[in-house]
Every structure is written in structure tokens, then in C-alpha cells.
Amino acid sequence: MALGLLGLGGHVPPVVVANAQVAEWAGVDENWIVERTGILERRYREPGTATSDLALNAAREALAVRPGAADRLGLIIVGTSTPDQPQPSTGAILQDKLGLSGFPAFDVNAVCSGFLYALAVADSMMSARLSGQGGEYALVVGADVYSSLMDPADRRTVSLFGDGAGAVLLGSVPEGYGVLDWRLVTHGEYRDLVEVTAGGTRRPLDAQAREAGEHLFRMKGRPVREYAMRTLPKVIGEALDSAGLRLEDVDRLILHQANTRMVEECYRELGVDPSRVPLTAPRFGNTAAASIPLTLRTEHERRPFRRGELLVLAGVGGGMTAGAVVVRWY
């Protein structure tokens, strides 16, 4: 059973946070932000907006491509590391907001790789008919609200992240199209490179943790970049090799938008023409698990994918995690 991306959706909140505001928060020059990151602005949620609210907008757009698809869903998976609440899952909340019930809906947390992990899980479950309900479609969402985790004084992170959501509707396509192969890896020995240390059972979120800033996002930028540069080419190559393809066959490379400079470094390292690598980081920043599906939707709107085009979706995230998914567009 071949499964393809039949519908795309994306949503960013309306609040635009320009570099001038970030520069004021972090005590840096605007030029420093542009030179180091290539990001010009990012979007922040409005007060009271939750991750599931962003996800709902993206999901509705993806579902609208196939009228009646919502009634034939058999699976919802949300990739997120900023859930609405510790429990239940944002997937369950999203299912209810869509007015649906009775089939599996859950979250996957692989930080910025979350959408790729969710897509691979959905592909596996639908291909093996493991969703339990026999639905025709799966809804895979990447959504995050990283503004909730930012330390405004930390120039290394507050300059990078924004909020957003992206979604894909996964369903049956002819053999030879759709998801051809994928590769996922986790290297837990590097788990301290990207983390929010408080809020779980190891470090409760108490007054002491808040005072120490342990409820906020922390990242060791240089080691993360080094991990990305050595791991991304490897997982992309392995996924393509498993599908019997080469990098030269790829029409468009949809990379996680960690920041503009890292995307540029990655396509130079791979030897890929920049015209084949869409950029949304300048406008939206790093939207974590939303980054890849949001870029997919934005690129399809700018220059629609043609039947038969070969796409590779790839990125890295905390954990450390990485993944690549090879897709033949239908």
C-alpha cells in the first residue's frame, strides 16, 4: 500500500516579531541577528493561543483538499515538544476540536524532528493497517509554540524561534508514488545539547527551577550545528540509497529551517543547487516540528509540486534526533 501526501496545510499566528524587538530584548545589534541567522522576523502566538489552536488551522487546510476526508480519518499524529498540557496528548485535543472520535490520536516528541518521526510512524501504521479503524486517511501535524520557552535575554535562542503549525493528509496513491522510504536516528548521548530541564519527574517545575530559568529552552549552538552537518548528509544518503535513488535525482530538498545560515551550509555541504532548497526561515524563523510541513505548504503555494517530482524531507532535532523521508509527489 503506497501512501502519499494528498493535502498540505500551514498556519502561523498573526503577531510579527521583528529583529528590532529581539535586539532590544537580548541587547544585541539587529545586524548581528541577520549575519548569524539570516532570520528577519518570526511569528508569536497571541495570549491564550495553544499549540492545538495552531494545529487546528493547519489541519483544516490540509483536510479541505479532499472534501469528506475528515470523516474517513483513521489516525492523527501530532509532532510537538510544546504540548497544550502534560496530558492528555495534543493529538487527542486536536481530534476533539475537529469534531472527531474513536480512532488513534497521539503525540510524538522528537523536538524539531518531530514531524518526520510522526510521518514515519503514520506511514508504518497505515501501511500495516495498524490504526485499528480502517480509515482511509491519516493526518500528520507538526506544531510548536516555542515563544512559550524563550528566554528573551538569551540571544542564541530568542533570535531563532517562532511559532507555527503544518499538516499533511496522508492517503493511498499508486505504487511508485508517495512515501518511498525513510531513515530515522537518535543519539541519546547528545541529549544535553538541546533541552528544557525542568517540568518533568526528574526536575519538578517549582519556584527554585523557575528562578534558575530551568523551565526555559537551552541549546548549545556550535555542537548542534556540528551534529547536523555530519548527520544530515548521512541520513539523507541512507534514505535515498534504500529507495534505490541518488541525490542527483532529487527535485526539491525540504530541510528543517533551523536558521537560514544552517540551511545554506547544509545545501553547500551536499552540493545541491540552492534553487532546489526552499527557505522559510527568513520569514518564520525556526518553528521546530512545524518547520518542514510549513515549508512544504509554503513552497507548494509558491511553485506547485508536479506529479512525479522527487522530494526529500530532512532535519535534525533535540535528542539528538535526525531523519529523512523520500517522497514521490502524486
Identify the pLDDT of residue 132: 55
Q: Shortest CA distance to 189 belongs to which of 152, 231, 157?
A: 231
Say which residue the cell 502566538 belongs to. Answer: 45
Query: Could you confirm whether domain 2-176 is CATH 2.60.40.10?
Result: no
Beta bridge partners of 139: 76, 169
Identify the pLDDT of residue 222: 95
Other C-beta atoms lying within 10 Å of the C-beta of residue 146: 26
* Chain-centroid distance, C-alpha 94: 17
Enumerate the domain spans of the chain. Answer: 2-176, 180-329
How crowded is the C-beta side of 227, counted as CA atoms within 13 Å? 26
Q: The domain 180-329 is classified under which CATH number: 3.90.1570.10, 3.40.47.10, 2.40.50.140, 3.40.640.10?
A: 3.40.47.10
Q: Are 281 and 39 in contact (CB under 8 A)?
A: yes
Residues in the chain: 330
- Does 128 have pLDDT greater than 90? no
- Does 312 have pLDDT greater than 60? yes
Residues labelled catalytic: 112, 256, 286
pTM: 0.96
Identify the pLDDT of residue 130: 56
Give the pLDDT band (50/70/90) at residue 129. Answer: confident
Give the pLDDT band (50/70/90) at residue 214. Answer: very high
Identify the pLDDT of residue 15: 98
- Does 169 have pLDDT greater than 80? yes
Q: Evaluate whether 2-176 and 180-329 have a shared fold.
A: yes
- Does 2 have pLDDT greater than 80? yes
Average predicted confidence (pLDDT) for the chain: 97
- Does 133 have pLDDT greater than 90? no
pLDDT tens digits, one per residue of 68-122: 999 999 999 999 999 999 999 999 999 999 999 999 999 999 999 999 999 999 9
